[in-house]
Amino acid sequence: MCNRATLLAVIPDAIGSIPAETFLMTRGPHRACARCTTPSPRVLACAGVLLLLVAVSSRAERPQHLEDRYDTVNQTLAPLIALLTRNGSAGNHSLNLEASIVDVARLPEQMKGAHVRIAYEFPDKLLVQFPSLGSTATVCRNRQSVWAFPAAMFIPLVERIDPSPSTQPLPPIEIEAKKAVFLPALLDVRDGGNARIADQDYRVLDVRPIALKRNQQANGWPGRLWISPKDHRLARLALRFPTWSVTLLIDKLELAPTLAPETWNPTAEQRNQVTAVPGDKIFTLIGLALKQNR
């Protein structure tokens, strides 16, 4: 196939073969000249080459639109990922995310309208609240201490996993700044078009780790993002798993230097129903609690 350099090399030769009278008819006042000659094959070839060059140039510009979907994801996720680094995100080191469940698949319909909350503060504080068995479950790490609510739910779950406590201190929840920069680049992104929700326009993008793309047996896109094109704000998030999926409406997404100290302590209503849980099993316990909803 001819490349751009080849096409540019051909054009001068083609132009040089055009009769003077034909060339003059394409310039300024000579346009009105009555003389007219039938375009030679070389002239037609030159016109074709020019059109082809325009087409090639147009196609060369199109990937910018395709790449833009990656830039959009990066603009949305990079500030959140930066919270996990020592440098933080524009002076912020904590996050408070509150969301409502707007759609579910292979989960109880009663979960629609339930609330989810994720709070994080660098480097060792994390709170996750989510619906489970008709109530709100909470798992919270406050430095080296980890508690869960309600105890009646989590004590049996702890007994199902390895009960032997770890003697190692819990590691910080952080990522090296150099690695954090490249995390968005490890995502494959598919354009899902546009959506209008509550008189607001959003760009819809499906995401998955590149590793899943390379896996011939992996199908589907585990994440879908609804992003505001104005400020790259994440408005909705869909999480798809092999056996269930959930769509969240982001009610609040705030970044701050720190969160209130009481964020990491049980409320007065929770205090008598809290149990300590193994810190190295936080995400295992959350997964087991979520499975109880199915």
CA–CA gap between residue 192 and residue 190 (Å, rounded):
6
- Residue 212: predicted pLDDT: 81
- Residue 167: predicted pLDDT: 82
Tokens 């408005």 locate to 235
Task: Split the chain (294 residues) into runs of 10 and give each run's mean pLDDT.
Answer: 40 40 38 44 42 36 56 95 96 98 92 96 97 92 97 94 81 95 91 92 94 69 94 96 92 98 96 94 91 79
Rg (CA), the chain: 29
- Residue 219: predicted pLDDT: 61
All domains of the chain, ordered by start, with CATH? 4-61 (no CATH), 94-291 (2.50.20)
**How far is CA 151 from its chain centroid?**
34
CA–CA gap between residue 136 and residue 152 (Å, rounded):
12
- Residue 241: predicted pLDDT: 87
Sequence-separated (6 or more) residues with CB below 8 Å from residue 163 = 278
- Residue 216: predicted pLDDT: 55
Tell me how crowded residue 216 is: count the other CB atoms within 10 A of its CB.
6
> What SS3 string covers the chain?
CCCHHHHHHHHHHHHHCCCHHHHHCCCHHHHHCCCCCCCCHHHHHHHHHHHHHHHHHHHHHHHHHHHHHHHHHHHHHHHHHHCCCCCCECCECEEEEEEEEEEEECCCHHHCCCEEEEEEECCCEEEEEEEECCEEEEEEEECCEEEEECHHHHHHHHHHCCCCCCCCCCCCCCCCHHHHHHHHHHEEEEEEEEEEECCEEEEEEEEEEHHHHHCCCCCCCCEEEEECCCCCCEEEEEEECCCCEEEEEEEEEEEECCCCHHHHCCCCCCHHHCEECCHHHHHHHHHHHHHCCC
pTM of the prediction? 0.74
